[in-house]
Structure formats: structure tokens, C-alpha cells
Amino acid sequence: AEASLRQSQKLEAIGHLTGGIAHDFNNMLQGVTGALAMAKRRLAEGVAEDVMRYLQVAGDATARAAGLTRRLLAFARRQRLDPRPLDPDALIHGMSDLLRRSMGPAIEIAFHLRDGAGHVVCDGSELENAILNLAINARDAMPSGGQLTIATEDLVLPAAEVIAGEEIAPGNFVSIRIQDTGTGMTPEVLEHVLEPFFTTKPQGEGTGLGLSQVHGFVRQSGGTLRIASRPGEGTTIQLLLPRSATPLAEQAQDAGPTPRAGR
């Protein structure tokens, strides 16, 4: 009985993993498909200028998909994630085209980024996935449009705080806040959102793995998630990652293809 229990737990873990991968992959494919459709439309209209940019977005999304398969291979080889020092502001900046494309025309995005004070140490492709997951949830909660705010802040927890039943030690954090003006969640939904496979979306649209994956990732990175939501008012989710004050080494800068310029 012991062995078969372990076996079924293992199968369950594999189920979570493959479901999570399918979920992330689907997000990336949506990015590629959307960008290619736009490029095609522009070419059909005879407007060449934007085409290059859309192809760049499609290229970035395929690079993310390659990152995902790399993680999958790493898992198969029983390797851990690849935590490195990174500047979350630069990472978000590098995702801005992808985020705009994923939100569609009815959603306005406001970026409030710090000027990269402290950095965080975590797996960059996991962090990108987490942000994209949260943004897509926000989009799904704003079917008739609204505003998505993505803000980074340096944050000090002066005392231990219990978040989602886990005690978080006091310290310096970088907060990545993803806020929407969507439907919000009832207390009943809020209570279950971190559970794997919990979804309120129609069959085939939600896997219920997004938030549990994001939660697992931030916990592994020494951080946590804060969620605040009210029906009719929208949802605010904060990713808290431990902040490291030492300067970011040049060689560790891994902010993706877009150099940090403008906003």
C-alpha cells in the first residue's frame, strides 16, 4: 500500500508538471500566433513598418518556449532551476511588447517601474512565466477591457508576516505588483486560488495550474505571493522576492534581447 501510494503521488506530480507545461506553452503560442496574424494583416494592408516589430515579438515568444523546453530537459536530468541575479525592471521592460500583444486593444497597461535599485536572485524564465500568467489571468478578468498595472517597488517587511498560512521572515523585498480592474474574486474563490486544478474558467480554457505554479516558484525563490481581491473592484497580486543589495554583476545581466531604454 505504501509503495502504491508513493507511485500515485508520483503520477500526480507528473500530471501537475505536464499540465503546467501545456499551460505555459499555450501562453507562448498565443503570443506567436497573435504577432504573426498582425504581421500578416499589416503586409496585406501594404504597411511594412510594423511587420519587423511583430516578427520580433514572435521571435521573443519562441525564445521563451525554448527556455521552457530547456527547463523541462533540466527537470528530466533532475537539475534545479537556474537562479541568477537579475533586475526585475529590465526583465519586465523586455516583456512589454509581449504583454501589450497579449492584453489586446481593450486593455491599457500602465508600467510603474523602479529605477532598478536592488536586484533579485531567481530563475529569469520562471519569473517571466509568472508575470505572463498573472497578466493573462488579469486579461481574462477584464472581458470588456480595463487597466492592467505592473509596478515594481522596494518593500521592507519590518516584522514576520503570515501570508497564505506561511510565515515570511522580515527583510527586504522587491514587490512586483500586477493589478487589474476586472471582476475580482469572491472570498470563496480567493480561498482556493492557490490549489492546483482550481479554476472557474470554462472547460478547455483554464487548467487551474497558473497560480499554484507561480506560488511554487516564488516560494522556491524565498519569496511569497500576496493576493487582494474584491468582487467588482479588481485584483491585486504581489510577487515578493527577496531583495539583494549588492550591485548586479555585468556578466549576470540577463534581461533578454531588448536593451533598457525609454518606457
- Judged by the rule CB under 6 A, the positions of this chain that interact with ligand ADP are 137-138, 141, 180, 182-185, 189, 193, 198-201, 206-212, 235
Q: How far apart are CA 38 and CA 29, in angstroms?
A: 14
Find the residue with minimal CB distance to ligand ADP: 210
Q: What are φ and ψ of residue 176, in 5° steps?
A: -110, 110
The CA–CA distances, whole Å, from 5 to 1, 11, 13, 18, 36 equal: 6, 10, 12, 20, 46
Q: Which is nearer to ligand ADP, 95 or 211 (CB)?
A: 211
Least distance between ligand ADP and beta carbon 181 (Å): 10
Q: Which is nearer to ligand ADP, 184 or 242 (CB)?
A: 184
Q: How far apart are CA 172 and CA 158, in angstroms?
A: 9
Q: Which is nearer to ligand ADP, 181 or 256 (CB)?
A: 181
Q: Which is nearer to ligand ADP, 34 or 234 (CB)?
A: 234
Least distance between ligand ADP and beta carbon 52 (Å): 32
Q: How far apart are CA 90 and CA 31, in angstroms?
A: 20
Q: Which is nearer to ligand ADP, 39 or 211 (CB)?
A: 211
Least distance between ligand ADP and beta carbon 34 (Å): 18
Least distance between ligand ADP and beta carbon 195 (Å): 8
C-alpha grid cell, residue 11: 503520477
Least distance between ligand ADP and beta carbon 92 (Å): 17
User: What one-character DSSP code corresponds to residue 208?
Assistant: S
The CA–CA distances, whole Å, from 104 to 23, 24, 95, 142, 184 equal: 19, 18, 15, 11, 20
